[in-house]
Amino acid sequence: MKKSLTVLAASVSLLFSANSLASDREISVEITNLTNAIYFTPLLVATHNRHTDLFEVGTAASANLQAMAEGGNIDGLIADVKASGGEYVANPASGLLAPGATAEAVIERPRKRNRFLSVVGMLLPTNDGFVGLDSLRVPKKKGTYTYYLHGYDAGTEANDEIITGGGAPGAPGIPADPGGNAGSGGSPTVAADHNPTVHIHRGVTGDSDPTGGDSDLDARVHTWQGPVARLVIRVNEDD
């Protein structure tokens, strides 16, 4: 099945003086959080074969993807990568990746089979949103390659936008707002997603009532439009 790249746009600049700490037999993957007030939970950066998907748009989320999208737990997805013989870097930011911050993962140059790169991490505060890159073929030529990544909805939980401190798969609510910008006391009116498969996240609705309203999230702070992350791949030698 032909893959659909999960990027809004891609620009390639063949710069031959990479500043990365990666050696010639490694690639550098940098992820920058482009949002105003959304945090990324510990990221998973993986190279794998063409038969492996951490997620796929238009298909139902796996249990391991659901655990990541609803609670930030990447253990199951790491197990999936290991089982496929892939390589990975877990939690390159050593915790949450804050708005405007950048994390770098240096990973071994993909072997012949593991030519595809995927990235995932939960978006906080959301119910089951995540930043994602699905099976991008790693460039073979030396250079610097830039991509912009969507926010996705796993389709596993209604976007009630209520902070509950939860995060277990199947339990409603948002674990936390790391930025401390959320209110409380909201009474959600939303139903389950119309699209139960992985799809583009519609963004935060929010409201402006810090002690009630339809949401605990702030429409003036948490809303985003367009890409949520920039990804830069640096390849230090031709393959």
Q: What is the CA radius of gyration of the chain?
A: 18
Report CA-CA distances (Å) from 42 to 56, 70, 186, 234. 20, 13, 28, 21
Which residues touch 195 (CB under 8 Å, ≥6 apart)? 153, 155
CA distance 154 to 171: 14
pTM greater than 0.85: yes
Amino acid type, 90: A
CA distance 29 to 139: 12
Which residues touch 114 (CB under 8 Å, ≥6 apart)? 47, 48, 49, 85, 86, 87
CA distance 69 to 93: 18
Domains and CATH numbers, the chain: 1-239 (2.60.40.2130)
**What are the pLDDT tens digits along the chain (239 aa)?**
433 333 333 333 333 333 434 566 789 999 999 999 999 999 999 999 999 999 999 999 999 999 999 999 999 999 999 999 999 999 999 999 999 999 999 998 777 789 999 999 999 999 999 999 999 999 999 999 999 999 999 999 999 999 999 889 989 999 999 999 999 999 887 778 899 999 999 999 999 999 999 999 999 999 999 999 999 999 988 87
